[in-house]
């Protein structure tokens, strides 16, 4: 452990953000002759890809109603495309299929995707939308859709494979990755508002700069820095209200245990990722109502999961928040394993979309999936500097697809600011400079 008593840069978290930051920072240090990867130490209490990144669905898309999110995702898709093989990236495209209540929002997304040079096709109207889908998947049968946005870029990546690929690229540049070490707190400087050292269960590590990229474990580290548990949020009407800084959502994801080849398109190819939002009444196999509220699902064939994998809109966790904050993916949180309500709803939704999934509910894989996400007050990320020498990457569960954030953070540490990070500053809450809200049932759309 003597070897790790100090490091110029310490990054907490060996997931997508931590390893992307480490890799790109190592590149920057080398390019500018200011050091190399050996100046960087990555810490993780579990292992590489042991947290949210290692169980992520892996969908990569530009499809956001918020302009700042679209621009950031264009940057991230370009990073995925830069080394598709190492990142286990599959550029199959992405489909956003929507009802009339969302048509105007999706049309706006398409228009602004054109403005930033992100290729997509937009189909409007009930008949044209259904025909477009049937030309791709002849058993398409979802009711009530009036628009289809087909992103030609994007797709999905295999979670753990991509993270290990990223770790390998960082280690080739000399980055040190230390696993099985838990951060317990911080020693702050007496003369300046900065982190002097990082306290761990294996001793203190002095550092010049810290990056916190701990996914759903951000709440405890945030509070260890003395940052607020509640904040004042300025609303559009000029009033303010006090809200919790962090809220936990249970992520609803799973796998249907069928041959992934079952989902091939009419021309024998692997299809784009499908995301359907719907206000149609969802019926189960025996014709009973599953839900009459607006719902949404996403799915894709995936050989890594060995089936059809995807999910639906999450729900707020209201019980055992103490257990969640301790270890959202560990055995302390058995209540948050995806249950039969999700499985039946999701399988019913698959059958609503395509005839080939009718009668397949019994093939659903009854195993833990999904996990817990730690969300900000507006459900969008915080990317900002705190304590003078600490950059916080709090992704609000948008994380895995945002591989490019680490590159922007590395540039920021080396003195180059990016306008892509500015909309995600912490001060936006007090300023009331919030992201627009869409009509999607998903909190992050």
Q: How confident is the model at residue 321 (pLDDT cuts 50, 70, 90)?
A: very low
Q: What DSSP string runs through 264-320? A: --TTSPPPPEEEEEE-SPEE-TTS-EEESS-EEEEEEEETTTTEEEEEEEEEE--S-
Residue 18 lies in a domain: yes
CATH number of the domain bearing residue 67: 3.50.50.60
* Selected residue with higher pLDDT from 341 and 32: 32
What is residue 336's predicted lDDT score, i.e. its pLDDT?
A: 44
Torsion of CA 23, 28, 29, 34, to 10 degrees: -170
Residue 213 lies in a domain: yes
Question: What CA–CA distance (Å, rounded) separates 301 from 260?
Answer: 5
- Burial degree of 286 (CB within 10 A; 0-12, 13-18, 19+): exposed
Single pTM value for the model: 0.92
Cβ-based neighbours of 237, under 8 Å, separated by 6 or more = none
Residue 52 lies in a domain: yes
Q: Per residue in 337-394, pLDDT tens?
A: 444 588 999 999 999 999 999 999 999 997 766 678 899 999 999 999 999 999 999 9
Residue 147 lies in a domain: no
Q: Per residue in 234-253, pLDDT tens?
A: 988 889 999 999 998 888 88
Closest to 61 in 3D by CA, of 164, 182, 149, 159: 149
State the average pLDDT for the chain: 91
Report the share of the chain in percent with pLDDT over 70.
Answer: 91
Residue 29 lies in a domain: yes
Provide the number of structural domains found in the chain.
1
Q: How confident is the model at residue 333 (pLDDT cuts 50, 70, 90)?
A: very low
Q: How confident is the model at residue 38 (pLDDT cuts 50, 70, 90)?
A: very high
**Distance linking the first and last C-alpha atoms of the chain:** 44
Q: Per residue in 43-75, pLDDT tens?
A: 999 999 998 888 888 999 999 889 999 999 999
8-state DSSP, 83:
T
Tokens 């080849």 correspond to 261
Q: Per residue in 270-287, pLDDT tens?
A: 999 999 999 999 999 889
Residue 3 lies in a domain: yes
Residue 32 lies in a domain: yes
What is residue 353's predicted lDDT score, i.e. its pLDDT?
A: 98
Q: Per residue in 388-418, pLDDT tens?
A: 999 999 999 888 999 999 999 999 999 999 9
Q: Which domain holds residue 40?
A: 1-91+155-228+381-425
Residue 124 lies in a domain: no
What is residue 368's predicted lDDT score, i.e. its pLDDT?
A: 61
């Amino acid at each position: 452990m003597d070897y790790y008593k100090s490091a110029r840069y310490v990054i907490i978290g060996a997931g997508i953000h931590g390893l992307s930051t480490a890799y790109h920072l190592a590149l920057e240090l080398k390019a500018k002759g200011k050091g190399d990867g050996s100046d960087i130490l990555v810490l993780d209490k579990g292992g590489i890809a042991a947290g949210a990144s290692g169980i992520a669905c892996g969908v990569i898309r530009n499809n956001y109603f918020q302009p700042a999110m679209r621009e950031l995702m264009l940057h991230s898709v370009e990073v995925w495309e830069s080394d598709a093989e190492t990142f286990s990236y599959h550029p199959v495209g992405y489909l956003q299929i929507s009802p009339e209540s969302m048509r105007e929002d999706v049309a706006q997304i398409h228009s602004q995707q054109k403005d930033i040079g992100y290729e997509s096709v937009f189909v409007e109207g009930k008949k044209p939308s259904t025909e477009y889908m049937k030309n791709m998947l002849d058993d398409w049968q979802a009711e009530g859709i009036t628009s289809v946005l087909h992103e030609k870029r994007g797709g999905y990546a295999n979670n753990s494979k991509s993270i290990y690929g990223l770790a390998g690229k960082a280690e080739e540049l000399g980055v040190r990755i230390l696993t099985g070490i838990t951060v317990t707190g911080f020693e702050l400087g007496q003369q300046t508002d900065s982190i002097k050292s990082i306290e761990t269960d294996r001793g203190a590590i002095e550092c010049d700069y810290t990056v916190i990229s701990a996914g759903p474990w951000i709440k405890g580290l945030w509070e260890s820095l003395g940052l607020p548990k509640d904040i004042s949020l300025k609303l559009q009407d000029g009033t303010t209200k006090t809200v919790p800084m962090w809220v936990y959502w249970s992520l609803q994801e799973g796998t249907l245990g069928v041959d992934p080849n079952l989902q091939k398109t009419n021309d024998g190819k692997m299809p784009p990722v499908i995301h359907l939002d719907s206000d149609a009444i969802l019926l189960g196999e025996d014709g009973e109502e599953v839900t009459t509220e607006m719902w949404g699902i996403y799915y894709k064939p995936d050989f890594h999961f060995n089936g059809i994998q995807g999910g639906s809109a999450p729900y707020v966790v209201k019980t055992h928040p103490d257990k969640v904050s301790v270890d959202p993916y560990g055995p302390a949180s058995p209540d948050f394993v995806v249950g039969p309500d999700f499985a039946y709803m999701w399988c019913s939704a698959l059958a609503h979309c395509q005839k080939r999934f009718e009668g397949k509910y019994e093939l659903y894989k009854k195993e833990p999936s999904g996990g817990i996400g730690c969300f900000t007050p507006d459900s969008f990320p915080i990317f900002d500097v705190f304590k003078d020498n600490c950059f916080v990457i709090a992704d609000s569960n948008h994380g895995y697809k945002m591989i490019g954030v680490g590159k922007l953070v590395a540039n920021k540490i080396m003195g180059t600011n990016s306008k892509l990070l500015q909309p995600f500053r912490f001060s936006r809450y007090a300023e009331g400079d919030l992201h627009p809200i869409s009509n999607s049932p998903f909190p992050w759309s």
